[in-house]
Amino acid sequence: MTELCFQLKGSVATILLLELHHYTADAFAGQLQQKVEKAPQLLLQSPIVISLDKLRDDGDAPDLEALLGQCRQFGLQPIGFRACLRFDEAIRATGMAILPQTSGRSGAVLRELMPAGEDDNAATAQASASSGVAVPVVSRFTRLPSKIVTQPVRSGQQVYARDCDLIVMSHISEGAEILADGNIHVYGGLRGRALAGVQGDVGARIFCHSLEAELLAVAGNFMLSEDFRGKVWKKPVQVCLKGEKLCIEPL
Q: What is the pLDDT of residue 38?
A: 76
Residue 53 has pLDDT above 90, yes or no: no
Q: What is the pLDDT of residue 60?
A: 66
Instruction: Give CA–CA dist 44/157, Å, rounded.
Output: 18
Question: Which of 132-136, 176-180, 219-223, 230-234 has the lowest average pLDDT?
Answer: 132-136
C-alpha neighbours within 13 Å on the C-beta side of residue 209: 10
**Percentage of residues of the chain with pLDDT beyond 90:** 43
Query: What architecture (CATH level 2) is domain 13-112?
Result: 2-Layer Sandwich (3.30)
Q: What is the pLDDT of residue 142?
A: 61
Q: What is the pLDDT of residues 84-123, one digit of tens each?
A: 788 888 899 999 988 876 544 334 555 555 444 443 333 3
Helix (H/G/I), strand (E/B), else coil: 88: helix
Residue 128 has pLDDT above 60, yes or no: no
What lies within 8 Å, CB to CB, of 89 at 6+ separation is: none
3-state class percentages of the chain: helix first, strand second, coil last, to nearest 5: 15, 30, 50
Helix (H/G/I), strand (E/B), else coil: 102: coil
Q: What is the pLDDT of residue 131?
A: 32
Q: What is the pLDDT of residue 65?
A: 93
Q: Structure pTM?
A: 0.60
Q: What is the pLDDT of residues 162-192, one digit of tens each?
A: 999 999 999 999 989 999 999 999 999 999 9
Q: Are 213 and 192 in contact (CB under 8 A)?
A: yes
CATH class of the domain defined by 147-250: mainly beta
Q: Are strands 237-242 and 221-224 parallel, antiparallel or unpaired?
A: unpaired
- Segments in the chain forming alpha helices (H): 25-38, 40-43, 64-73, 88-94
Instruction: Give CA–CA dist 50/32, Å, rounded.
Output: 13
Q: Which residue has the higher pLDDT, 129 or 6?
A: 6
Instruction: Give CA–CA dist 211/181, Å, rounded.
Output: 20
Q: For 185-207, what is the mean pLDDT?
A: 93
Domain-by-domain residue ranges, the chain? 13-112, 147-250
Q: What is the pLDDT of residue 244?
A: 75
User: How many other β-carbons are positioned within 10 Å of the β-carbon of residue 164?
Assistant: 18
**Average pLDDT taken over every residue of the chain:** 80
Q: Are 217 and 127 in contact (CB under 8 A)?
A: yes
Q: Which residue has the higher pLDDT, 140 or 61?
A: 61
